[in-house]
Amino acid sequence: MSYTEVRNLPVNYRKWFIDKVIDDHSKKDDTANVPISEQDNNLDKLQNIANENILLARSVEKSFK
């Protein structure tokens, strides 16, 4: 939303919108402060889950052949 659109909102909606924007920015800041090692660990977990799903899909596919 543009500044003019926000400014034209009723006060209650304007306050809600501004609080929502502040919350979104603080969540982004929290995510940005995650250490690289933790991000790598999460990536490794995701890779393991993907590999398990691929193996499961292959075994299911073989059972239908």
Angle at 23 between CA 46 and CA 32, to 5 degrees: 40
Structure tokens at 60: 């299911």
Could you tell me the CA-to-CA distances from 45 to 34, 48, 50, 56, 59 in Å, in that order? 16, 5, 9, 17, 21
* Number of other CB atoms surrounding residue 6 within 10 Å: 13
The amino acid sitting at 34 is V
Quote the pLDDT of residue 34: 65
Quote the pLDDT of residue 1: 72
Kindly report, residue by residue over 3-61, the tens digit of the pLDDT: 788 788 898 889 998 899 888 888 776 666 667 677 678 788 889 889 888 888 888 87
* Cβ proximity of 5 and 18 under 8 Å: no
pTM of the model: 0.42
* Domain layout of the chain by residue ranges: 1-33, 35-65
